Structure 1
Amino acid sequence: MTDRRDFLKASLLASSVLALPRISRATTTVAGSVPGKVGARVVSTWDFGVPANQAAWALLGKGGKPLDAVEQGVMVPESDLNNHSVGRAGYPDRDGHVSLDASIMDGDGRCGAVAALEHIGHPINVARKVMENTQHVLLVGDGALEFALQQGFKKEDLLTPASEKAWHEWLKQAKYKPVANSENIDYHRSVQNLGLPGGKHNHDTIGMLAVDANGRLAGACTTSGMAWKLRGRVGDSPIIGAGLYVDNEVGGATSTGVGEEVIRNAGSFLVVELMRQGRSPQEACEEAVRRIVKKRPDAAKELQVGFLALRRDGECGAYAIQKGFTYAVCDAQQQDRLLASPSVYQTTYS
């Protein structure tokens, strides 16, 4: 059975989705760092972070808890049937199964996650239940689904007609090669030619970080993973310390892009630890990115990884391997900023 908190979250989500703004995809400002000391703030990855931030701000701006805000915020792209890289409309693996990953973390160290979860449209809600109602951090596959059903979530078919159509088109060549700012270059070209949804803005993750006026933080990260992945593949998003890490003493970080590279470097934990040592959010993100490039210089030229960080005083920053990574910032002064991250390379894949 769902409780009163779940009912309120669903009601707020419905109103948020109905009120989604039209987002311009043209980003004219490159900003590696945004100053802090503005009180509460929420930041998130990619252009769909703008409406997600606004949903989070509906709670955070009224003095709500950062943990509630980030959960509420990322539910917006999870619900968006036009978003094929997050939530219920995500593209399937190469066998036609839609599986979702998510994690949530409070600044006090509590955290929960699910991976390879099928048949549940809001994995972030299940991740929070793992955090609050179990002694574990991560549940996967059939066990995660069984737990979700025990918690009152309803089983549903997540393979939408649009996603199924795209999958059948991909099967004609069945090639898989992740590239920067898109999940698959062969798929990207095919959807452009056929008019299928996705393509240039076919991103893979929303990561969100929030801080309240007292410096308390929380973060959430949710994805359907890379399209046409091997069944059972899990990226960085549900891995605490890779796709997400938050510490009230310092700040938080989240990532986007090819998850395997982030996992290999414990990326988000690294960013937070670099901030702990005195680096700014942008400097910490840049160092984490450059470590990936240094270890795999040839591979890095053809893949994307981006980090977004938020310090407890509200300063935020970002950095990526390739040009094209954007992030959204929302606070009391302005609630719809979309900024372009600086990057190592200046090639945009399109």
Structure 2
Amino acid sequence: MTSRRQFLKFSALSTAAGLLMPKLARAKSVNKPIVVSTWEHGGPANVAAWKILARNGRALDAVEAGVRVPEADPAVRTVGYGGYPDASGKVTLDACIMDENMNCGSVAYLQDIRHPISVARRVMEHTPHVMLVGEGAKQFALEQGFKEENLLTEQSKAEWQAWLKSREVQHINIENHDTIGMLALDGNGDLSGACTTSGAAYKMPGRVGDSPIIGAGLYVDNEVGAATATGMGELMMKTVGCHLVVELMRQGASPEQACKQAVLRIADKLGDYQAFQVGFLALDKQGRYGAYCIQSGFNYAVKDHQQDSLFDAKSLLRGNT
């Protein structure tokens, strides 16, 4: 005859098994590996990341390798080499990276180093800190073996000199977006993310946006999902936007729903939100993705076993909701 203690033990085991079975079932349907990134230049970046993911590599390695592509491409005017300078003519770079274990590294106002994302990873892995800035970040990069070089191309220099004649403020919108953010889920089911930028064109010297700020421009929670952002960085900083997106996914929102709610929260606080662009991109633990923005025109790239695609994000303005 079964004792009460044995019955309770059996019931507890049965309950645990019942809870585990749906998780195992869901795991079979997880879309992995997958990589997503912001803007059209995310396409070539995804290709580089996929080379690592396809051979069962780590998501962290994939996102670093991926965003290094636009960092080195002078045709991508808002990231790395060839990026627009600040008002004084200096190219200043910001980046951050975060892995599945909540390890993260960041650099801000970094000059003369082509790959700030790799410096950010060295900060994560070789210092007790999360962020290094300015001259300190540069000296650390040089100590780590990075090469010092001039990042201001002739094209960017000529456009900056033309801008000096009018000094017209360059609003951060569709024409002046400022990042590549990348999120990846690897074959092991682990998430990582990276974000890198040269910032807004002709910004005030010393200005730093959301891109190197963990929680604002990028956030990863390996239990839930990851998010990255683009657009008016100050608005993401004020709302800790990417952390908000991840927490909304934790509460049950899909990636797209979470991005939309974060955008609506920002728009609700701004009387003139139509003048700005804010966009979020999210990837959850099941490999589902989604994005949302204020103005239409924000696109994002997706690569997995089934596709290599570019999508337009849904937006608050112009009826695309």
Over alpha carbons, which structure has the higher Rg? 2
CA distance in 1, matches of 2:298, 2:197: 16
CA offsets per residue over residues 268-289 of structure 1, 9 Å max, x none?
0000011011111011000000
2:284 partner amino acid: R
CA offsets per residue over residues 201-249 of structure 1, 9 Å max, x none?
xx31000000013320000000000010011100000000000000110
Matching residue of 1:338 = 310
Instruction: Return closer, same or farther for 1:179/1:112 CA change in 2, 3 Å cut-off.
Output: closer
Q: C-alpha displacement at 1:177, in angstroms?
A: 3.5
Note the residue ranges of structure 1 that are not aligned, 5 or more in a row.
1-35, 184-202
Instruction: Return closer, same or farther for 1:347/1:98 CA change in 2, 3 Å cut-off.
Output: farther
2:270 alignment partner, one of 283, 296, 306: 296
Superposition map of 1:80-99 within 5 A:
80-99=73-92
2:282 partner amino acid: A
Contact 1:88–1:158 (8 Å) recurs in 2:
yes
Matching residue of 1:254 = 228
Contact 1:253–1:310 (8 Å) recurs in 2:
yes
2:293 alignment partner, one of 317, 320, 331: 320
1:237 alignment partner, one of 169, 188, 211: 211
Matching residue of 2:108 = 115
Q: C-alpha displacement at 1:57, in angstroms?
A: 0.2
1:306 aligns with 2:299: no
Structure 1 residue runs of 4 or more that deviate by more than 4 Å after TM superposition: none
Contact 2:79–2:180 (8 Å) recurs in 1:
yes
Contact 2:78–2:198 (8 Å) recurs in 1:
yes
Q: CA RMSD in A?
A: 1.2
Matching residue of 1:220 = 194
1:64 aligns with 2:64: no
CA offsets per residue over residues 287-320 of structure 1, 9 Å max, x none?
000000000132x111100000000110001000
CA distance in 2, matches of 1:86, 1:248: 27
Does the residue aligned with 2:275 lie in a helix, a strand or coil?
Answer: coil
2:42 alignment partner, one of 32, 49, 56: 49
CA distance in 2, matches of 1:180, 1:117: 23
Does the residue aligned with 1:285 lie in a helix, a strand or coil?
Answer: helix
Q: C-alpha displacement at 1:163, in angstroms?
A: 0.6
CA offsets per residue over residues 301-349 of structure 1, 9 Å max, x none?
11100000000110001000000000000001112x000000100289x
Deviates more, 1:251-260 or 1:150-159: 150-159
Aligned residues: 292
CA distance in 1, matches of 2:175, 2:306: 32
CA distance in 2, matches of 1:90, 1:320: 23
1:211 aligns with 2:204: no
Contact 1:94–1:230 (8 Å) recurs in 2:
yes
Matching residue of 1:180 = 173
Q: C-alpha displacement at 1:61, in angstroms?
A: 1.2
CA distance in 2, matches of 1:297, 1:331: 39
CA offsets per residue over residues 2-41 of structure 1, 9 Å max, x none?
xxxxxxxxxxxxxxxxxxxxxxxxxxxxxxxxxx732210
1:321 partner amino acid: I
1:277 aligns with 2:251: yes
2:129 alignment partner, one of 108, 113, 136: 136
Question: Whose relative contact order is higher, 1 or 2, with alpha carbons under 8 Å and at least 6 apart?
Answer: 1
Matching residue of 2:261 = 287
Deviates more, 1:339-348 or 1:214-223: 339-348
CA offsets per residue over residues 75-105 of structure 1, 9 Å max, x none?
0000111111001111100000110000000
